[in-house]
């Protein structure tokens, strides 16, 4: 699953650590999400979407053909 987390996080001026703390995960989890090495739970995807100020999960997380 591809994400736009890095792009939206940069737009908000947040570090990986700040986003991780805001949603209750480790910085390594955010890094894995940004590099498409980990698919989040629905709850985590929702939290990240809200913290980044986006209207829907689909704005942040993009399903790919392999998903």
Please give the backbone phi and psi of residue 2, each rounded to the nearest 5 degrees, phi first: -85, 155
The CATH code for residues 2-62 is: 1.10.260.40
Tell me the pLDDT tens digit for each residue of 2-59: 999 999 999 999 999 999 999 999 999 999 999 999 999 999 999 999 999 999 999 9
Give the rounded distance of the alpha carbon of 35 from its chain centre.
10
Beta bridge partners of 62: 2
Q: What is the DSSP string of 7-53?
A: HHHHHTT--HHHHHHHHTS-HHHHHHHHTTS-PPPHHHHHHHHHHTT
**Measured distance CA(25)–CA(53) in Å, rounded:** 18
pLDDT at residue 64, rounded to an integer: 76
């Amino acid at each position: 699953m591809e994400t736009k987390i890095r792009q939206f996080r940069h737009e908000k001026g947040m570090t990986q650590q700040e986003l991780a703390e805001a949603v209750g995960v480790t910085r390594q989890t955010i890094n894995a999400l940004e590099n498409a090495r980990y698919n989040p739970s629905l709850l985590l995807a929702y939290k990240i979407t809200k913290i980044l100020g986006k209207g829907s999960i689909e704005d942040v997380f993009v399903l790919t053909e392999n998903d």
